Amino acid sequence: MNTVGPVIRRRNDEVNGALIGYLPVGFPTFDESIEAAVAIVEHGVDVIELGLPYSDPVMDGPVIQAATQQALANGFRIADGFEAVRRITERVDAPVLIMTYWNPVVQYGVDRFADDLAAAGGAGLITPDLIPDEGAEWIAASERTGLDRVFLAAPTSSDARIRQAVEASRGFVYAVSTMGITGARSDVDQAARTLVERLSAAGAPASCVGLGISTAAQVAEVLEYAEGAIVGSALVNALANGGVAAVGELATELARGTSAE
């Protein structure tokens, strides 16, 4: 199993930090979503965040919402997520985390989900709407299977919530740079720096910042203080408008930010 912790540590030794890229399964088609995921790794992304389409994506911005709705209209099923992980990990040596709202995991069966993800070669889960003190079943399943578990922390999180996220996460803590829905922004919030400092003080082995990063300059800015930068909407937008070639080109550009002087 290719987990994310060693990759993030290695990239912080080699360059300024890790680049994590989000793409949804099944957009614009199932096969193209796999080709896009492979392409971003081949062009400099270190960790894949593979989104499972969901009918009520309350934390996703319009670009990702439109993509996931198209994937659902194409007939996406949970099993397609595991097949995508399997096909991607057969071709590239990069950890693949599933990003999913919690309800699909519960409906599928928490232990069954963990077993199928591990069997497919997945690294673990990012669960944006699951808080650690309600995640005992997933924590137990991930301990049993060795999967990473990534919880979120926000600028508004209390010190107690920060500690919970740090203690419960394995791989990294997802630092939400600003409150609200996802989407590319012209600036990455200053609040992210303070949040990462709080996570570090609480003992987080790694913090990766997401929500709003869309340029190499922003990647470089984030990696001044965090161990990883997460890009989502900008990659999905490139895929929507220019296909696999365009998303690969953007990944190349974003990866320049990991070694910017």
33: number of CA atoms within 13 Å, CB side? 29
Residue 202, classed as helix, strand or coil, is coil
Half-sphere exposure of residue 109: CA atoms within 13 angstroms, side-chain side: 5
Among the options 46, 60, 80, 148, which is catalytic?
A: 60
Do 215 and 43 form a contact (C-beta atoms < 8 A)?
Answer: no
Question: What element of type H or E holds 34?
Answer: helix 30-42
Residue closest to 193 by CA, chosen among 205, 175, 168: 175
Out of 49, 80, 148, 221, pick the active-site residue: 49
3-state SS assignment for residue 121: coil
Distance CA 102, CA 84 (A): 19
The residues facing 50 across adjacent strands are 23, 98
The number of angstroms, rounded, from the C-alpha of 209 to the middle of its chain's C-alpha atoms is: 10
Catalytic annotation present for 49? yes
Ordered DSSP codes for 130-147 = --GGG-HHHHHHHHHHT-
**Residue 80 appears among annotated catalytic residues:** no
The strand ranges marked E within the chain are: 18-24, 47-51, 96-99, 124-126, 148-150, 152-153, 173-176, 207-210, 228-231
- Asked whether 257 and 215 are in contact (CB, 8 A), the reply is yes
By annotation, the residues acting in catalysis are 49, 60
